[in-house]
Amino acid sequence: MPDFYDEILKYKGFDFSAHLAQVKSADLQEILNKEFLSILDFLSLLSPEAFLFLELLAQKANKLTLAHFGKTISLYIPLYLSNYCDNECAYCGFKHSNTIKRRKLTLEEVEQEAREISRTGIQHILILTGESKLESPLTYIQECLERIKKYFTSIAIEIYPLKEEEYRQLVSSGAEGLTIYQETYDEVLYDKLHLKGPKRNYAFRLGAPERAAQAGMRQVNVGALLGLGDFPRDAFFTALHAKWLQDSYPAVEVGISLPRIQPQAGGFDALRPWSDKEFVQLLIAMRLFLPRVGIAVSTRENNLLRKNIIGLGVTRISAGSRTEVGGYTLEQKTSGQFETADKSSVEEIKRMICEKGYQPVAKDWQRL
């Protein structure tokens, strides 16, 4: 088991509902006055009582975000290389049993897509594949990295989990960031949702961020797919995971993503839908608990929500996203992994950020 699993075991049998129910106004007032929060303070910020303090909590989140990140929002774009997948995940449009058009970009097509994306001016890209090591082997991903790194200053990967040495190989080919979602930290629910394929290995996935950090990744981004599991539980363990990574690997830039389930090609509905208010409450709580962590919100969320949360803790948003393989340049695209809610162009997103009094940042890091 990965080292972080020991942290999860500390809360085995913990009654999250009971904790949330007993939070009082005095507890929240005390939390507001603290400089550093405990993980249980974080959990208290997700309580129904905390709704009454949301404005005050938002003001503190705004001050912390300005102090650590200034009035900037970093932009990134996803590029899907392949949608072949060996897994049977109940909630995913790419799952193996779905009868969708499958394809993998040729290296020429990968470069064509990268060239088109680079014309937007955004220098941060996230490359994704379905989880099939046979169809998208490590050598293919390395070749893709070599092809596109001349177009971007920062390339992150969101692929199947790897061994430490395999992450090291991708770092040497140009990858400097990893995004990987545990999906749900509830091991029993995880087993029920992942029916077939290598992704059934909960422990191997859980240890991926640590292996990437040990392999030299500059940035590691974790998260849970909001709507799969219990409201406070997955938020709690996502925050705990990020804090553990920050403490264990201080040289690594740790980030959190907050993806909510959107309509899937497989027709899966959220087991426990998150309201917009709960989503905003979680964002604010994450910022108060982890003042230095980067927080990303993708085009899964609609434009109005994304506009309104600028200043509350978010530091990175995607723009002009396509979740289809070949989505930027090819006439024959595949089905998307999920339906994007914000279909704004990159220029429209930049204008929206500027209207909020913030600066859109297309490049904030350069490999030397």
Compute CA 58 distance to the chain's CA centroid, rounded to the nearest angstrom: 21
Task: Concatenate the DSSP letters of all residues of 313-350 into one string.
Answer: T--EEE-S---STTTTT-SS----SB--S----HHHHH
Identify which has the larger pLDDT, 365 or 357: 357
Q: What is the pLDDT of residue 231?
A: 79
44-48, 134-138, 340-344: least confident range: 340-344
| Contacts by 56-60, CB closer than 8 A, 24 or more apart | 56/32, 57/32, 57/284, 57/285, 57/288, 58/280, 58/284, 58/312, 60/32, 60/288
Rounded CA-CA distance 316/360 in Å is 9
pLDDT for position 267: 64
Residues with Cβ within 8 Å of residue 172, at least 6 apart in sequence: none
Give pLDDT tens digits for 193-212.
Answer: 999 999 999 999 999 999 99
Mean pLDDT of 240-254: 97
For 56-101, how does the pLDDT look when each residue is reduced to its tens digit (9 = 90+)?
A: 999 999 999 999 999 999 999 999 999 999 999 998 888 888 888 8
Structure tokens, 20: 């949330």
DSSP alpha helices (H): ranges in 10-88? 16-21, 25-32, 39-44, 54-69
How many percent of the chain have pLDDT more than 70? Answer: 96
C-alpha 67, offset from chain centre: 23
Closest by CA position to 201, among listed 212, 211, 190, 217 = 190
pLDDT per position as a tens digit, 255-314: 999 999 875 545 677 777 888 999 999 999 999 999 999 999 999 999 999 999 999 999
Domain spans, the chain: 4-361
Task: List C-alpha distances in Å: 193 to 5, 27, 260, 325.
Answer: 20, 36, 16, 25
Burial of 182 from C-beta contacts in 10 A (0-12 / 13-18 / 19+): buried
Quickly tell me which residue has 């994304």 as its tokens. Answer: 306
Measured between its terminal Cα atoms, the distance across the chain in Å is 36
* E strand or H helix at 244: helix 231-248
- Is residue 127 very low, low, confident or very high in pLDDT (cuts 50, 70, 90)? very high
Place of tokens 């993806």: 259
The whole-number average pLDDT for the span 217-236 is 93
Please give the angle made by the CA atoms of 311, 316 and 321, to the nearest 5 degrees. 125
Dist. CA 202–CA 132, nearest whole Å: 17
CATH code: domain 4-361 is 3.20.20.70
Spatial distance between the Cα atoms of 13 and 16, rounded to a whole number of angstroms: 9
Angle at 95 between CA 323 and CA 80, to 5 degrees: 25
Least confident residue range of 46-55, 67-76, 180-189, 272-281: 272-281
The mean pLDDT value for 115-140 works out to: 96
| Angle of CA points 235, 239, 241, to nearest 5° | 115
Which pair of tokens denotes residue 309? Answer: 């949360």
Question: Based on the number of CB atoms within 10 Å of its own CB, is 205 exposed (0-12), middle (13-18) or buried (19 or more)?
Answer: buried
CA distances from 173 to 155, 159, 196, 213, 216 (A): 10, 15, 31, 16, 12
Give the model's pLDDT for residue 2.
Answer: 83
Cα–Cα distance list, 356 to 55, 71, 72 (Å): 18, 10, 11
- Share the mean pLDDT of the chain: 93
